[in-house]
Amino acid sequence: MKGLIAFGRFELTRLLRSWRFLAVTVGFPVVFYMLFLNNHRSGALVDGMLPWREYLMVSMCSFGALVAALNAGGTRLSTERATGWARQLRVTPLPPWSYVGTKVTVSMLVVLPVLVLVEAVGAGFGQVRLAAGSWVALALLLWVGSVPFAVLGVFVGFVVNAETAYPVVTVLMFVLGYFGGLFTPVRNMPGALQTTARILPSFHHASLGLALLAGQGLSAQHWLVLAGYAVVLGMVLVWRHRQEELRGVA
Amino acid sequence: MRSRQSNVGQGADRWLARPGRPRTPKSRSSPPAFRFERVVRRYGRHIAVDHLDLEVQRGETVALLGPNGAGKSTTIALLLGLLHPQAGSVEVLGMSPRRAMAEGRVGAMLQGSGNGLPPGVRVSTALRLVHRLYGDRVPMELTIERSGIAPYLGRQTHRLSGGEAQRVRFAMAIAGDPELVFLDEPTAAMDFAARQSLWRTVAQLGQQGRTLVFATHHFDEAEHAGRVVVINHGRVVADGPGATLKAAVSTRRLRFVCDRPDDHVLDTLEGVTDVEVRGRGVTLVSLDADATVRDLVRRAVAFRDLEVTGARLEEAFVALTTKGSIRSAGSP
């Protein structure tokens, strides 16, 4: 257990000391938020139920969580698998499952401050006014809903090699962001794209927050889809990990 | 015609004569460091480890010697639990390799394409983590001293040269002060001084009762082991004490013509372990060809057409490791 805590701390420290990770994770959601803020400074309602400014903040929260999780897992993981560090760790007393477990946990730990940061931008520049409880509820809700993103990030790090990890993560970030309706509301998209959005975890992640702010309560459908992603990706990840155990890491 | 063989000569023959058999009898009181029984490991069609039998007792320092692709790394990966055997059984310290690893009784230095270190941290941070994973059994200072990595501690891991990274990996292998240490080609990128330091530490750990197993394809590195196991095509082709190997390596054969060979003189020549006389043709086996030649001159043996040829065992070793067959190494 002491070893596990030491490994978790080591991973977290290493992640927070990476200027590239910090620049991307803090920079992307904040810069995008600012850009969209200037484009759409209007009082229009999104989906006829929520002010634009609230939609934007929730969307940027989702985007921030996505960016943080994909970058914490994907690129870095595949790099350290390529250097042989992942393999070296397996010849220490650290239990084999804890490598993946710690990666997902650490991704989750960095998602929470990103959500708080985006909320702060929303309160400071985005003219979002919420009750104290709603701020907390929104952050916690979106945080718990980020588990599939964290698993996805680690999954990408496992299946993609170091050279292609960076472009794959970038493409995933924008595909999930755009087609999940985080840059422009799904209702404003053509019909086919609206259907596509409904199968993406990013859409359901943002929908959790939007439903909360619209006072619609918790929608089982969004949770089910997010849980489905987490479970399926998690299972493939475990299977993949086991395959490597049997085959041996080259 | 007569022939005499010394212990060394016999040893050299025995070295080749008993492939794959454990050298030391099984101890009943405590399990061996590890035991391989009929272990098979394939990669697709290629068979990397082919019904390998091998047993190493605790406290031994063993070299796994063989050319690239002989199955040394696969053998080590099986011992570390990184790979599972497709047939046969692998036992480490009387338990499964995984369990021995989880209990922190094993340390290892692997071979790979990268430098094997975590990117984006200082060497000291990475080494501290490995100490913690082993439950801080020994102070970090001891590991630093043993591995000689003090100059790189403050360096970022990606700024290390190949040899420096290798020393850090060695430090990680011994950071938990494990009973059993596996080193896969530990000196590949090291300079002379680093090698010296590594072998010194290996010797020290061996004296302290640790079991050390290292893989190498360098004949002269095997001398750092008490026991040398030659592996090729995934099988043990030779297994014997390191001293025998060393003697065998320096063994030369001297042939010359002598009109009136005197057995008594030839027998007592410096370095000579074996004498064979056929008419006027004399063949000597010597552990020190230079000394033997000097002695021949000093004792005024009337020799001509002197011819010195290389070590039989080395020839035998090359033949073994390139053809994979066991050749008779008996007297000519």
CATH number of the domain that residue B155 is part of:
3.40.50.300
The verdict on residue B318 lying in a domain is: no
Say if residue B14 is in the same domain as residue B90. yes
Interchain CB distance below 8 Å, B82 and A91: yes
What DSSP element (H or E) covers A59? helix A52-70
Question: Amino acid identity, residue B38?
Answer: R
Q: What is the pLDDT of residue A202?
A: 95
pLDDT band at A250 (very low <50, low <70, confident <90, very high): very low
Which pLDDT score, from 0 to 100, does residue A215 have? Answer: 84
Residues of chain B in contact with residue A71, where contact means CB-CB under 8 angstroms, are: none
On the question of pLDDT at B317 being above 60, the answer is no
Chain B interface, mutation test: which of A83, A97, A103, A247, most B Cβ atoms within 10 Å?
A83
Q: How far apart are CA A98 and CA A103, in angstroms?
A: 8
Whether residue B269 sits in one domain with residue B227? no
Rounded mean pLDDT, A63-72: 94
Overall average pLDDT of the A166-186 stretch: 90
- B324 located within any domain: no
Burial B177-190 (b: 16+ CB within 10 A, else e): bbbbbbbbbbbeeb
Q: Which of A95-99, B106-110, B132-136, B277-281 has the lowest mean pLDDT?
A: A95-99
Say whether both B237 and B275 belong to one domain.
no
What is the per-residue pLDDT for B312?
52
Q: Does B325 score more than 50 pLDDT?
A: no
User: B140 and B28, same structural domain?
Assistant: yes
pLDDT, residue A137, reads 93
pLDDT-derived band at A80, boundaries 50, 70, 90: confident
Tokens standing for residue A66: 């996505």
Q: How far apart are CA B258 and CA B305, in angstroms?
A: 9
Residue-wise pLDDT for B35-44, tens only, equals: 999 999 988 8
Task: Give B189's pLDDT tier (boundaries 50, 70, 90).
Answer: confident
Q: What is the pLDDT of residue A48?
A: 67
Selected for mutation to probe chain A from B121, B130, B158, B184 (highest A CB count within 10 Å) is B130
Judged by a CB distance cut-off of 8 A, whether residue B129 touches chain A is yes
> What pLDDT does B329 receive?
34
pLDDT at B247: 64
For residue B143, being part of any structural domain is answered with yes
Residues of chain B found within 8 Å of residue A7, distances taken between Cβ atoms: 129, 132-133
Give chain B's domain count: 2
User: What number is the ipTM of this complex?
Assistant: 0.86
Q: Do the Cβ atoms of B114 and A14 come within 8 Å?
A: no
In this structure, is residue B320 part of a structural domain? no
Residue ranges making up the domain that contains A147: 2-247
Q: Which of B80, B116, B120 sits opposite A84 (nearest CB)?
A: B116
pTM: 0.79
- Among A175, A159, A170, A177, CA closest to A77: A159
- B215 shares its domain with B273: no
B170 touches chain A (CB under 8 A): no
Task: Give the chain B residue nearest A4 (alpha carbons).
Answer: B133
Nearest to residue B248, comparing CAs of B323, B198, B320? Answer: B320
- CATH of residue B261's domain is 3.30.70
Tell me, yes or no, whether B329 lies in a domain.
Answer: no
Domain of residue B282, residue span? 252-310
